[in-house]
């Protein structure tokens, strides 16, 4: 029979002070991360604005010149039209004036301006219309590949030296370095045109009506298999290789030998002890690699004609629709930085080593 040892009166204040110091470290860690997040977001906003505005060309002037060549307007009417639409789209004034006006509109009014590819529809309407498709595609691909890659990497490391482990490792070394867009073309040729078993374009069949019906859901899933598969295959093997490297370093630790000597089942040692410790760096890596997956998804969406923000961005780039291009990039940067911020804020709660070292000493 075991008895609980009461906390003495002298120990209770020490425990309370220790808990207070721990939460101060965590709050200080969070405050620094929030400051870095805000500064990085402003820097990304500024760089994106300057980069896009330094690209030569003006969509309004180019459209007006085409209209003038076809005899649709005189020179005087053409010039007035250029000035009007440049003002409507926020392209008038100096670059400095455009920057501060755009910064105010985005931060205060949450307005990205009018789009040129669907004038006079606001750019944020086009982005919010395309965003759910990208979120669904990336969410399914990123989470599935991360979970499967962790489990597969743990198994490969656990059974290292076997035929199964060597085969998956060698395949991973090849597939993990294939660009997303190249694998998209291979899957498109093989399953879309060669075997003709999966759709090649769009997000759902034209014969179905968008909604919460079973036909629409099955059609959307079927159309997402090839673009999501392009992202999943590369990401799974990337996570497999990195998890395998971390697991091999963990498997030689003394606490695993102690757990094995206690007679714990191998599955419990693998999942509850080895993989649990190797998983913490992979949580940080998930936020860091999200930007690379998002950039790869842009081309994948365009290849398959998927109506996400990647396809919208490429369409806007063709006409140099600055408002839509800036809006897509800022929405993407915001999503990636916010995901990294959430990972950073969760780390002190998941890993005591980060919590103890978050005081900055």
| Domains and their CATH numbers in the chain | 125-319 (1.10.3720.10)
- Kindly report, residue by residue over 73-109, the tens digit of the pLDDT: 555 556 676 777 677 766 777 788 888 888 888 888 8
Taking residues 255-283, what's their average pLDDT?
Answer: 75
Is residue 154 scored above 80 in pLDDT? yes
What is the spatial distance between Cα 293 and Cα 130, in angstroms, rounded to a whole number?
A: 17
pLDDT at 237 (0 to 100): 92
Is residue 8 scored above 60 in pLDDT? no
Is residue 2 scored above 50 in pLDDT? no
What is the spatial distance between Cα 147 and Cα 142, in angstroms, rounded to a whole number?
A: 9
Q: Which residue has the higher pLDDT, 271 or 71?
A: 271
Taking residues 255-263, what's their average pLDDT?
Answer: 73
Q: Which residue has the higher pLDDT, 162 or 358?
A: 162
Q: Who contacts 143 (Cβ-Cβ below 8 Å, separation ≥6)?
A: none
- Kindly report, residue by residue over 171-226, the tens digit of the pLDDT: 999 888 888 888 989 999 999 888 888 888 888 887 887 777 888 888 888 988 99
What is the spatial distance between Cα 152 and Cα 232, in angstroms, rounded to a whole number?
A: 13
Buried b (16+ CB within 10 A) or exposed e, 179-211: ebeebbeebbeebbeeeeebbbeebbeeeeeee
Q: Which residue has the higher pLDDT, 357 or 218?
A: 218
Is residue 71 scored above 70 in pLDDT? no
**pTM exceeds 0.85:** no
Rg over alpha carbons for the chain, rounded to the nearest Å, is 27
pLDDT at 361 (0 to 100): 43
pLDDT at 283 (0 to 100): 79
CA separation (Å) from 27 to 21, 34, 155, 319? 10, 10, 37, 46
pLDDT at 148 (0 to 100): 92
pLDDT at 359 (0 to 100): 47
pLDDT at 1 (0 to 100): 44
Out of 88-97, 167-176, 292-301, 304-313, least confident range: 88-97
pLDDT band at 360 (very low <50, low <70, confident <90, very high): very low
Average model confidence (pLDDT) across the chain: 79
pLDDT band at 111 (very low <50, low <70, confident <90, very high): confident
Is residue 13 scored above 80 in pLDDT? no
Is residue 322 scored above 80 in pLDDT? yes
């Amino acid at each position: 029979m075991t008895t609980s040892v009461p906390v003495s009166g002298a120990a209770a204040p020490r425990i309370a002070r220790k808990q207070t110091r721990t939460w101060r470290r965590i709050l200080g860690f969070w405050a620094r991360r929030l400051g870095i997040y805000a500064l990085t977001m402003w820097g990304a906003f500024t760089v994106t604005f300057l980069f896009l505005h330094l690209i030569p060309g003006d969509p309004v002037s180019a459209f007006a010149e085409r209209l003038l060549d076809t005899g649709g307007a005189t020179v005087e009417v053409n010039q007035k039209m250029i000035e009007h639409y440049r003002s409507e789209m926020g392209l008038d004034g100096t670059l400095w004036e455009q920057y501060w006006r755009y910064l105010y509109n985005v931060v205060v009014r949450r307005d990205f301006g009018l789009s040129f590819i669907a004038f006079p529809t606001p750019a944020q309407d086009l982005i919010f219309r395309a965003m759910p498709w990208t979120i669904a595609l990336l969410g399914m691909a990123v989470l599935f590949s991360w979970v499967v890659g962790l489990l597969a990497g743990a198994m490969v490391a656990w059974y290292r030296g076997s035929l199964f482990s060597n085969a998956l490792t060698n395949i991973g070394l090849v597939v993990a370095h294939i660009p997303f867009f190249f694998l998209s073309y291979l899957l498109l040729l093989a399953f879309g045109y060669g075997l003709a078993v999966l759709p090649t374009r769009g997000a759902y069949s034209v014969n179905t009506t968008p909604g919460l019906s079973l036909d629409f859901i099955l059609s959307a899933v079927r159309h997402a298999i090839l673009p999501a598969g392009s992202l999943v295959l590369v990401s799974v093997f990337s996570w497999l290789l990195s998890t395998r490297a971390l697991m091999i370093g963990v498997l030689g630790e003394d606490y695993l030998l102690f757990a094995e000597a206690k007679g714990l089942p191998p599955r419990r040692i693998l999942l509850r002890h080895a993989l649990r410790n190797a998983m913490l760096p992979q949580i940080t890596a998930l936020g860091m690699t999200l930007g690379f997956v998002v950039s790869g998804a842009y081309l994948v969406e365009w290849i398959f004609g998927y109506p996400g923000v990647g396809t919208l961005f490429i369409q806007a780039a063709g006409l140099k629709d600055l408002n839509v291009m800036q809006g897509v990039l800022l929405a993407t940067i915001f999503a990636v930085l916010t995901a990294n911020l959430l990972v950073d804020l969760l780390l002190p709660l998941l890993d005591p080593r980060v919590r103890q070292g978050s005081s900055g000493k």
